[in-house]
Structure 1
């Protein structure tokens, strides 16, 4: 019979709130149900599982595509997944300050109690419910700020905020010549899947791993490399052999010509 030894682990528990029949509960307990209070709420457990499914463990940014036409900077909508909550960012069109040579846009991930409403609150002295008011929502809000300067270099993100994008002009008042995303965005389109690729490719556990393998494989092969010259066209060029001779065609095989 094998000998068994129990090994102590740290960080191996996931706890969610449990109530007993006829148990008195308090506001914190209700907030756990909604996720407003993340301690022992099911919400962090679900979000952590989602992050793990895409190979992430910390704050993850998805979306936030950036383009510019020289005047406006267009930012696509995005989502920020934390292990205990979620933030949403709407699509926006930004016009940088006209006096800026360079600058950044940065975001602040803010949490606050909002949406006050009339409530019936328990009066501990009078032992009865009395009219009152209080916040009814815990709100996750993304706040956006611009930091700009009239000379290079561009400013760094403010402490406690996250850099969204960097922009610059060649001259003050000129068109925007560069708009670059600063967020470490994760692209779920590159989520890996376990597949068997043949022939002789083997098992590649991620899409990017397979693409890199194919790129290196093709690069290692010897091919005829050509460059366009004056008067070239884009007709498909094909070659076939017959015995010791080779022939070529550029009209889908209608006419085969021998190499001179």
Structure 2
């Protein structure tokens, strides 16, 4: 007969709210259903499952592609930021850096706010009747956009609690844009991965597809063959060239020898 031992672990539960029959309903109970109150709501579990399908478990940005960058403006495609408790939507925008700027950054702030005030009926415990009043009817998950710029060299730092979106530089104040970089790490499900780091010399690519393309271009441009090291023989790079019907080889591209 085998033995069994219970092993306690933490973080192994997904709890959702349970309403008993004939139990009084409170505002928090309804807000759990909509996701406005993420505690014991099924919304975080659904978002976690969505992130898991693309191999992610943390906050993830998707989209935000920089396109149609001109000398004076920057276009950014729409994007989403998926957290474990909410989704934030960023619309496509065209940005024009502020006049007088030399360098700068655009950053985003993720804000939660109660909005859409409306006339509602509230229970008055004194009169024991419903009385009219004003209150919010929606909880908004909003993306706010800011620009920080300077007129001297040196990019501004990203504000605490905000996310860097992109940076830009000019060679002179109010001159054409000379450098644009996206600061926000973005996951692209269509390109299989993010921040892939491979050796040798592939550096950090945005995706596995970019790394494969880098390898293809590297092989296409390769202009030598490397010999196999063994006792008594050279380990070197050999290049070839032809002249008419003859072929020659070289170790240094200076001295060329015909094949024996």
Short-chain TM bin: 0.7 to 0.9
Moved over 3 A (4+): 211-216, 222-225
Distance 1:145 1:213, change over 3 A: closer
Please give the secondary structure, in 2, of the residue aligned with 1:168. Answer: strand
| Corresponding residue number in structure 2 for 1:8 | 8
Partner of 1:158: 159
Partner of residue 30, structure 1: 30
Distance 2:93 2:223 in 1: 47
Task: State the Cα distance separating 1:127 from its structure 2 match.
Answer: 1.1
- Counterpart for residue 191 of structure 2: 190
Are residues 1:61 and 2:67 paired?
no
Separation of aligned partners in 2, 1:83 and 1:131: 36
What SS does structure 2 have at the residue aligned with 1:129? strand
CA distance in 2, matches of 1:214, 1:71: 30
State the TM-score, normalized to the length of structure 1: 0.75
* Alpha-carbon offset, residue 208 of structure 1: 2.9
- 3-state DSSP of counterpart to 1:179: strand
Equivalent residue number for residue 238 of structure 1: none
SS of the aligned residue for 1:110 comes to strand
**Pair 1:80-2:88 in alignment:** no
Query: Does 1:117 find its partner at 2:112?
Result: no
Tell me the distance in 2 between the aligned counterparts of 1:190 and 1:127. Answer: 60
Relative to structure 1, the CA distance from residue 214 to residue 162 in structure 2 (aligned partners, 3 Å threshold; closer, same or farther) is closer
Gaps of 5+ in 1: 193-206, 226-260
Distance between the aligned counterparts of 1:20 and 1:31, measured in 2? 16
CA RMSD of aligned residues (A): 2.6
C-alpha distance in 2 between matches for 1:81 and 1:163: 16
Corresponding residue pairs, total: 210
For residues 163-210 of structure 1, what are the alpha-carbon distances to aligned partners after superposition, in whole Å with 9 as ceiling and x for unaligned? 110001011121011111100111111337xxxxxxxxxxxxxx939x
Bigger relative contact order (CA 8 A; separation at least 6) = 1
* Distance (whole Å) between structure 2 residues aligned to residue 128 and residue 21 of structure 1: 25
Structure 2 counterpart of 1:231: none
CA distance in 1, matches of 2:219, 2:104: 40
* 3-state DSSP of counterpart to 1:10: coil
Say which SS state the counterpart of residue 126 (structure 2) adopts.
coil
The CA deviation at 1:214 is: 11
Q: CA deviation at 1:66?
A: 1.2
Structure 2 CA distance, aligned partners of 1:213 and 1:191? 13
Q: Distance in 1 between matches of 2:138 and 2:127?
A: 27
SS at match of 2:108: strand
Write the distance in 2 (CA, Å) between the matches of 1:173 and 1:57: 42
Deviation (angstroms), 1:105: 0.4
User: How far apart, CA to CA, are the structure 2 residues paired with 1:178 and 1:16?
Assistant: 48
Cα distance, 1:124 vs structure 2: 1.1
> CA, structure 1 residues 152+224, in 2 after alignment: closer, same or farther (shift >3 Å)?
closer
Deviation at 1:87, TM superposition (A): 0.2
Map 1:95-244; keep pairs closer than 5 Å.
95-191=96-192, 208=208, 212=212, 215=215, 219=219
Residue correspondence of structure 1 range 46-57 to structure 2 within 5 A? 46-57=46-57
